[in-house]
């Protein structure tokens, strides 16, 4: 392992708000970030040293990008893995592409997690209308039909509460390739784990936030979580450790769980920094963004303990961000806006974090 010295350049694939917050964390400790993204500009453009516009499938452009930096990472996982492999000959790439590939496909992800000892929702693969009927018979209702690839923020999902909903769900998703039918898990609480692993193999966890989703989009993350979640954190962490080690992971990743009566149920993992970890910027000794940067440049991880007795993060979705002056005028609120120009419904425009109990 070699530790890159300050002044080195980190290449980031993807230029959204995660790239923006990674670039800010890198700049704070003296590193520069170059962004590679297909758009002309994006939330990371305001804070990075260089923005390279290129297609994620353009291996030559990715290789040229990698030649210009000292290490490459990614903040966006819906990228075809093969072109990314061309980076390896030009610069080290963290996290491993295997993690990206597994996280891109809900079936691979659930199979991999189960191999590592996870409990998952009952599920079945669906490739035809007949498969869907068979899956409903096997799994029962209520269930959720999901695309296996490229779903995010609740997109690419249709609920099947009763048998009669199958036609509508099929019509909505049948063009999206292989689908997965998942049994609805009864749960009172959702939580996630944020995990960092450095190049020496040291692992750190932050406190597990309890997450509330609205319309499939994360609304709030709160620490400490409900006692019922806290009971399940040790089992969830043991699983996360097995996953991190099996993948020889370097960087930060997140796993989302349902806290069911039977214990933690693995929902999905993201091989990157995660929205449910934004609270760590002010709420922990070291943020998820800084620890991801530390891991990829070869530094040891920073501490992950809480910086306050409690922390609440709320996403500003669409028009929520119009109240920026109100949030900015509250001395207990940290306002984060991502510099997006258009506040479309369902679009993450920023977030606010409050430290509580101080």
> Footprint of ligand AMP on this chain (CB under 6 A)?
121, 144, 151, 154, 182, 184-185, 190, 213, 216, 256, 267-268
Instruction: Sort strands 9-13 and 71-74 into parallel, antiparallel or unpaired.
Output: parallel
For 192, residues 6+ apart whose C-beta sits below 8 A from its C-beta are 208, 209, 211, 221, 254, 255, 256, 257, 274, 276, 277
User: Are the CB atoms for 86 and 79 separated by under 8 Å?
Assistant: no
CA dist 300 to 2, 79, 253, 352, Å?
11, 28, 16, 28
Taking the least distance from each CB to ligand AMP, the nearer of 121 and 281 is: 121
For residue 277, the minimal CB distance to ligand AMP (Å) is: 15
For residue 172, the minimal CB distance to ligand AMP (Å) is: 15
For residue 215, the minimal CB distance to ligand AMP (Å) is: 9
For residue 308, the minimal CB distance to ligand AMP (Å) is: 26
Taking the least distance from each CB to ligand AMP, the nearer of 35 and 121 is: 121
Taking the least distance from each CB to ligand AMP, the nearer of 71 and 180 is: 180
Taking the least distance from each CB to ligand AMP, the nearer of 48 and 136 is: 136
For residue 71, the minimal CB distance to ligand AMP (Å) is: 29
Taking the least distance from each CB to ligand AMP, the nearer of 150 and 202 is: 150
Helix (H) or strand (E) holding 218: strand 217-223
191/155 Cα distance (integer angstroms): 20
Tokens of 228: 């019922």
For residue 170, the minimal CB distance to ligand AMP (Å) is: 18
Taking the least distance from each CB to ligand AMP, the nearer of 198 and 256 is: 256
**What 3-state DSSP class applies to 38?**
coil
Taking the least distance from each CB to ligand AMP, the nearer of 176 and 184 is: 184
Long-range contacts of 283-289 (CB under 8 A, 24+ apart): 283/223, 283/307, 283/308, 283/311, 283/313, 283/353, 283/355, 284/206, 284/207, 284/311, 287/21, 287/25, 288/194, 288/196, 288/206, 288/252, 289/21, 289/22, 289/24, 289/25
Taking the least distance from each CB to ligand AMP, the nearer of 180 and 244 is: 180
323/343 Cα distance (integer angstroms): 12
Taking the least distance from each CB to ligand AMP, the nearer of 70 and 182 is: 182
For 115, residues 6+ apart whose C-beta sits below 8 A from its C-beta are none
Taking residue 280's Cβ as centre, other Cβ atoms within 10 Å add up to 29
**What 3-state DSSP class applies to 109?**
helix
Taking the least distance from each CB to ligand AMP, the nearer of 43 and 151 is: 151
Tokens of 124: 């079945």
Of 40, 39, 35, nearest to 24 (Cα)?
A: 35
Q: What is the CA 263 to chain-centroid distance, rounded?
A: 22
For residue 191, the minimal CB distance to ligand AMP (Å) is: 10
Q: How many CA atoms lie within 13 A of 31 on its CB side?
A: 29
């Amino acid at each position: 392992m070699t530790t890159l010295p300050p002044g080195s350049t980190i290449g980031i694939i993807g230029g959204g708000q995660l790239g923006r917050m990674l670039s800010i964390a890198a700049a704070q400790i003296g590193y520069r970030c170059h962004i590679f993204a297909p758009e002309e500009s994006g939330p990371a453009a305001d804070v990075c040293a260089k923005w390279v516009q290129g297609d994620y499938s353009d291996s030559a452009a990715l290789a040229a990008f990698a030649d210009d930096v000292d290490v490459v990472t990614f903040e966006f996982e819906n990228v075809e893995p093969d072109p990314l492999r061309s980076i390896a000959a030009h610069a080290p790439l963290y996290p491993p592409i295997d993690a990206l590939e597994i996280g891109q496909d809900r079936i691979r992800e659930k199979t991999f997690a189960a191999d590592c000892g996870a409990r998952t929702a009952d599920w079945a693969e669906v490739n035809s209308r007949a498969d869907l009927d068979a899956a409903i018979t096997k799994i029962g209702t209520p269930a959720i039909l999901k695309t296996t690839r490229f779903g995010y923020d609740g997109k690419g999902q249709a609920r099947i509460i009763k048998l009669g909903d199958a036609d509508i769900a099929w019509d909505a998703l049948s063009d999206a390739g292989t689908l997965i039918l998942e049994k609805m898990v009864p749960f009172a609480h959702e939580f996630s784990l944020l995990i960092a692993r450095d190049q020496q193999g040291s692992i750190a966890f932050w406190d597990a936030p309890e997450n509330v989703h609205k319309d499939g989009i994360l609304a709030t993350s709160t620490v400490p979580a409900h006692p019922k979640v806290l009971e399940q954190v040790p089992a969830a962490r043991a699983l996360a450790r097995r996953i991190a080690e099996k993948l020889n992971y370097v960087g930060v990743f997140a796993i989302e769980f349902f806290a069911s009566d039977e214990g933690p149920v693995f929902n999905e993992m993201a091989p990157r920094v995660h929205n449910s970890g934004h609270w760590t910027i002010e709420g922990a000794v070291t943020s998820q963004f800084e620890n991801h940067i530390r891991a990829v440049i070869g530094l040891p991880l920073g501490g992950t303990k809480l910086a306050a007795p409690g922390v609440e993060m709320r996403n500003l979705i669409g028009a929520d961000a119009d109240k920026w002056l109100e949030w900015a005028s509250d001395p207990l609120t940290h306002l984060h806006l991502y510099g997006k120009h258009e506040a479309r419904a369902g679009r993450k425009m920023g977030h606010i974090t409050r430290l509580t109990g101080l």
